[in-house]
Chains A and B, each alone.
Chain A
């Protein structure tokens, strides 16, 4: 009989505790209920890409001037721009490393870093092959394409930074 009473008291006590904690549980559930579809803001990526955009355009202005000048293709040789390409590899390494730490919900930002890397390496390969002197073909399409890659990263990073408020 005593055991039965003890059991009933125990059950009643459990029910009371449950009744006390239920609202708390609901409250905590809603407090922590924030969905995340996308992540990927990284201050280092944001800043590095912005610097790279500046450096790339500075490099390109010099390259276009060299392509236009008629000197038998000498001044646009990659050897004269090795300093830029060395810096570029360091910057790309920074971006790649940071992107590697991003979570599963950062596929857009990761994908953009990969596209930028591929585009710049492709351009470097073209430059290694050599650009002839030319007044018309000053590689404006390549500059536009690479700028689009930089700007797309900067744009998405900005939107992610601004508390994700896209509109």
Chain B
């Protein structure tokens, strides 16, 4: 079995995630990097077990599916934080506009 360069794998995963998240990447960086690292570590752990013949191909597949399922939860967090960010921006804009309207109406808060 060919050795997998897991450092390289993590780097590639980070680059792909960065590309998808665009400008939001900075907000997610520490969390996403930590989770991607753990995901890659698990894949490395399973690859070693398979190489040693401790698990079968079917078990490898099943255990990788388990990792994928867990990663979905991570993606839900990232999606949620993205929505929170959009919500904050929209509300900040509405607040500015609201204050301007109030000022124009000559109302003291």
Contact = CB atoms under 8 A, between A and B. Distances in A.
Interface of A: 23, 26-27, 30-31, 33-38, 40, 108-109, 111-112, 115-116, 118-119, 122, 134, 136-137, 140-142, 144-149, 151-153, 155-156, 159-160, 164-167
Nearest to A110: B76
A160 B45 CA distance: 34
Contacts of A156: 76-77, 80-81
Given A27-B101, A40-B80, A149 B70 contact: yes
Contacts of B46: 141
B74 to A, nearest CB: 5
Given A26-B101, A27-B107, A137-B49, A35 B76 contact: no
Interface in B14-58: 26-27, 31, 35, 38-39, 41-43, 45-46, 48-49, 52, 54-55
Contacts of B73: 111-112, 115-116, 148-149, 152-153
A145 B67 contact: yes
A165 B31 contact: no
Contacts of A167: 26-27, 85, 88
Given A119-B66, A141-B63, A148 B105 contact: no
A138 B36 CA distance: 21
Nearest to B67: A145
A76 to B, nearest CB: 16
Given A27-B102, A115-B70, A142-B63, A34 B83 contact: no
B94 A34 contact: yes
A122 B69 CA distance: 11
A8 B31 CA distance: 68
Those 5 A-B pairs whose CB atoms lie nearest each other, nearest first: A30-B98, A145-B70, A141-B42, A38-B83, A108-B80
B81 A26 contact: no
B54 A145 contact: no
Interface in B52-109: 52, 54-55, 63, 66-67, 69-74, 76-77, 79-88, 90-91, 94, 97-98, 101-102, 105, 107
B66 A37 contact: no
B77 A155 contact: yes
Nearest to B102: A27
A141 B45 contact: yes
